Amino acid sequence: MPDTPLIWINAGETSGDLHGAALARALTARAPGLRLVGMAGPAMRQAGVEPVARTEDLSVMGFTEVVAKLGTVLSLISRIKRELARRRPDALICIDAPAFNFKVITAARKLDIPVYYYISPKLWAWRQGRAAFIRDNVDRMLCIFPFEREFYARFGVEADYVGHPQVEELTAPDLRSIEPDPCLVGVLPGSRRREIESLTPVFAQAADRMHQARTDLRFVALRAPGVDEAVLRSLWTANSPPRVTLDIQGPEGRYETMRSCSVLLAASGTVTLESALLGVPTVVAYRLSGLTFALAKRFVKVSHVSLPNIILDKAVFPELLQNDATGDKVAQAALAWLQDPAAMAAVQAELAALPDLLGPPGAPDRAAGIILDAMDERA
pLDDT of 252 reads 87
Check if the beta carbon of residue 251 is closer than 8 Å to that of residue 222.
Answer: yes
61 pLDDT above the threshold of 50: no
Does this chain's domain 6-165+362-378 share its CATH topology with 173-357?
Answer: yes
The residue extents of the domains of the chain are 6-165+362-378, 173-357
- How far apart (Å, rounded) are the C-alpha atoms in residues 4 and 163? 28
Residue of 43, 3, 37, 39 lying closest to 251 (CA atoms): 43
pLDDT of 63 reads 39
- How far apart (Å, rounded) are the C-alpha atoms in residues 296 and 266? 20
- The sign of the CA dihedral 174, 43, 36, 358 is positive
125 pLDDT above the threshold of 80: no
> What's the pTM value of the predicted model, to 2 decimals?
0.83
What are 206-248's pLDDT values in tens digits? Answer: 999 999 999 999 999 999 877 889 999 999 988 766 678 889 9
What are 300-325's pLDDT values in tens digits? Answer: 555 788 999 999 999 999 999 988 99
- Residue 215, C-beta contacts closer than 8 angstroms, at least 6 positions apart: none
Report in angstroms the alpha-carbon separations of 1 from 12, 126, 229.
Answer: 27, 36, 45
Fold of 173-357: Rossmann fold (3.40.50)
- How far apart (Å, rounded) are the C-alpha atoms in residues 146 and 310? 12
Summary mean pLDDT of the chain? 90
Report in angstroms the alpha-carbon separations of 343 from 30, 44, 76, 337.
Answer: 46, 39, 47, 6
What are 151-188's pLDDT values in tens digits? Answer: 999 999 989 999 999 998 999 999 999 999 999 999 99
**286 pairs with which residues across the strands?**
321
Fold of 6-165+362-378: Rossmann fold (3.40.50)
- Residue 131, C-beta contacts closer than 8 angstroms, at least 6 positions apart: 123, 151, 152, 154, 155, 157
Please, which pLDDT band fits residue 4 given cuts at 50, 70 and 90?
confident
Check if the beta carbon of residue 351 is closer than 8 Å to that of residue 276.
Answer: yes
Check if the beta carbon of residue 221 is closer than 8 Å to that of residue 236.
Answer: yes
Over its C-alpha atoms, the chain yields an Rg (Å, rounded) of: 21
- How far apart (Å, rounded) are the C-alpha atoms in residues 114 and 79? 19
